[in-house]
């Protein structure tokens, strides 16, 4: 298939792109890149009533953020109306489509009747066989018609989906769907088929929800004399507990993940595994490994579950794999924004570089960095004094431990992690404490937290002066 594959991402700008949309884009992109083909972006903006301002920019912005580069486009269907009009006219003149003059009122009544008689929805073909005169009269009345497809009343339409295998629909279940609306815009079906043909799309990868539209598309391809592309309908995405994916599960706009401190490379890896897998084990795959290994054979039919814990875990893996300077640069905007205002800006970069290794080990998202690093910047720590008293210790033994630790720290000349450890371990023995007790107390005194990065490294970056001051404050609290 080398060089001939052409896929596309064809979003409708009816909202901000969510996880599902971008997963579709990613799969189409991976497929194109795997076969060294082309990836095309086409904006399907033919539903004027549902257009959302800023959606197009958000879509393109998301693709750029994730590095899903495209070779052609973005094409806008709203700029190609002429093309769809021509196609619709051609279908009418060859007898495969017709003008329909039914008023919204009539359609509404028809629908109500269908509901009443428990009939399936669909146009009742009222205008399918209007005579020349009847049409002329409607035109004279100034009714603006829509164009409908003349769906064959019998027979079947089937195809071989690259994921679902053979799929067959009875034509009798397909109504005479609209091709051209009265506002002059084409419907999705018409514009989609015409463009996939004109843009030379070889493989349509799209969400499962479009599977049932495909027979209509195939009928259109046939009527227009176009060779249809191959179809691959991607499995549904569900949230935890197999519920419909909602905001709570992560159906938020994909750009929000950037704001929440997810790395694009982690996001790409995570999204790729929503319905595809390389094998039953491998979770972490680089962009290149994804491209090299991607295949539709390994796309599953079962719904993929969006698991935020897994995303957090994976993002942490990617964060820890970053070079320190890279991590620092990516975390910096979050630090600047998230640290309390009292921390002076610009932040002291030398110090920032010293603390970053400690934070990189623990952060799952960049947005967590300010919270994790806060104690390394602020003057006053806010914690409950009771936290200072470690398990099986009393206030008296805690005071004693902190006082002695303070004295010894004052005398320490080289204030690095090794020297601190060499001094503090024997001190625990001397005090008759377990190391966990002494270190626990010290940890709370110098960090204000029970869980923090490794104690000696943390004390070393904080520096002697700051550690001593914090121990004094702790003693005062006791
Ligand atoms: N505009 C459709 C959507 O937003 C495209 C479906 C397709 O790929 O054919 O999902």
Q: What are the structural domains of the chain? A: 1-76+235-321 (3.40.50.620), 81-190 (3.90.800.10), 324-369 (no CATH), 385-477 (1.10.10.350)
Atom of ligand 1 nearest to the CA of 206: 8
Residue in 44, 161, 190, 229 to alter for ligand 1 test, most ligand atoms within 8 A of Cβ? 44
| Residue 123 · residue 175 · CB < 8 Å | yes
CB of 192 closer than 6 A to ligand 1? yes
With a pLDDT cut of 90, the percent of the chain lying above it is 95
Atom of ligand 1 nearest to the CA of 44: 1
**2 falls in which pLDDT band (50, 70, 90)?**
very low
pTM of the model: 0.94
With a pLDDT cut of 70, the percent of the chain lying above it is 99
| CA-derived radius of gyration, the chain | 32
**243 falls in which pLDDT band (50, 70, 90)?**
confident
Place of tokens 């914690």: 383
**Which of 76, 85, 21 lies closest to 48 in space, CA to CA?**
76
Q: What's the CA gap between 246 and 249, in Å, rounded? A: 5
Q: Helix, strand, coil % (nearest 5) of the chain?
A: 50, 10, 35
188 pLDDT above the threshold of 60? yes
Q: How far is the CA of 93 from the centre of ligand 1 (A)?
A: 28
pLDDT in tens, 21-39: 999 999 999 999 999 999 9
343 pLDDT above the threshold of 50? yes
CB of 10 closer than 6 A to ligand 1? yes
pLDDT in tens, 123-171: 999 999 999 999 999 999 999 999 999 999 999 999 999 999 999 999 9
Buried b (16+ CB within 10 A) or exposed e, 194-213: bbbbebebbbbbbbbebbeb
CB of 11 closer than 6 A to ligand 1? yes
- Predicted pLDDT of residue 244: 81
201 pLDDT above the threshold of 60? yes
- Predicted pLDDT of residue 355: 97
3 pLDDT above the threshold of 90? no
Q: How far is the CA of 180 from the centre of ligand 1 (A)?
A: 17
| Residue 28 · residue 9 · CB < 8 Å | yes
- Predicted pLDDT of residue 251: 62
Q: Which residues contact 455 (CB under 8 A, 6 or more apart)?
A: 420, 439, 442, 443, 446
422 pLDDT above the threshold of 90? yes
Q: What is the mean pLDDT of the chain?
A: 96
């Amino acid at each position: 298939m080398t060089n001939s594959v052409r896929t596309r991402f064809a979003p409708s700008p009816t909202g901000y792109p969510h996880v599902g949309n971008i997963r579709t884009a990613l799969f189409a992109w991976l497929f194109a890149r795997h076969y060294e083909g082309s990836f095309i972006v086409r904006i399907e903006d033919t539903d004027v009533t549902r257009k959302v301002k800023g959606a197009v920019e958000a879509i393109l912005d998301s693709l750029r953020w994730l590095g899903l580069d495209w070779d052609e486009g973005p094409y806008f269907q709203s700029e190609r109306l002429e093309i769809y009009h021509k196609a619709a006219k051609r279908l009418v003149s060859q007898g495969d489509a017709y003008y329909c003059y039914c008023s919204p009122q009539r359609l509404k009544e028809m629908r109500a009747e269908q509901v009443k008689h428990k009939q399936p929805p669909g146009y009742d073909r009222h205008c399918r066989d209007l005579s020349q005169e009847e049409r002329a009269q409607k035109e004279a009345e100034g009714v603006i018609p829509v164009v409908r497809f003349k769906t064959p009343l019998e027979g079947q339409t089937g195809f071989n989906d690259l994921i679902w295998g053979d799929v067959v629909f009875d034509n009798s279940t397909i109504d005479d769907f609209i091709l051209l609306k009265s506002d002059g815009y084409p419907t999705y079906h018409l514009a989609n088929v015409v463009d996939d043909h004109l843009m030379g799309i070889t493989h349509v990868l799209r969400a499962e929800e479009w599977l049932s539209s495909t027979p209509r598309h195939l009928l259109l391809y046939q009527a227009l004399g176009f060779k249809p592309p191959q179809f691959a309908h991607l499995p549904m995405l569900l949230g935890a507990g197999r519920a419909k994916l909602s905001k709570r599960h992560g159906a938020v706009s994909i750009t929000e993940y950037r704001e929440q401190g997810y790395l694009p490379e982690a996001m790409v890896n995570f999204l790729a595994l929503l319905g595809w897998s390389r094998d039953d084990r491998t979770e972490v795959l680089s962009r290149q490994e994804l491209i090299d290994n991607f295949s539709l054979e390994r796309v599953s039919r079962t719904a993929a579950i969006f698991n935020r814990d897994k995303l957090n875990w994976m993002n942490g893996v990617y964060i820890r794999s970053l070079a320190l300077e890279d991590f620092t640069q990516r975390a910096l905007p979050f630090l600047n924004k998230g640290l309390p205002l009292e921390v002076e800006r610009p932040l002291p970069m030398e110090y920032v570089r010293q603390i970053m290794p400690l934070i990189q080990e623990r952060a799952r998202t960049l947005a967590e960095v300010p919270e994790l690093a806060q104690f390394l910047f602020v003057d006053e720590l806010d914690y409950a004094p009771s936290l200072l008293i470690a398990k099986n210790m009393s206030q008296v033994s805690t005071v004693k431990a902190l006082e002695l630790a303070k004295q010894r720290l004052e005398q320490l000349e080289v204030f690095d992690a090794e020297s601190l450890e060499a001094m503090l371990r024997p001190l625990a023995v001397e005090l008759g404490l377990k190391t966990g007790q002494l270190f626990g107390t010290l940890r709370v005194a110098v960090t204000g937290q029970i869980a923090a990065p490794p104690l000696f490294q943390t004390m070393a970056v904080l520096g002697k002066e700051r550690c001593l001051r914090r121990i004094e404050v702790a003693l005062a609290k006791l």
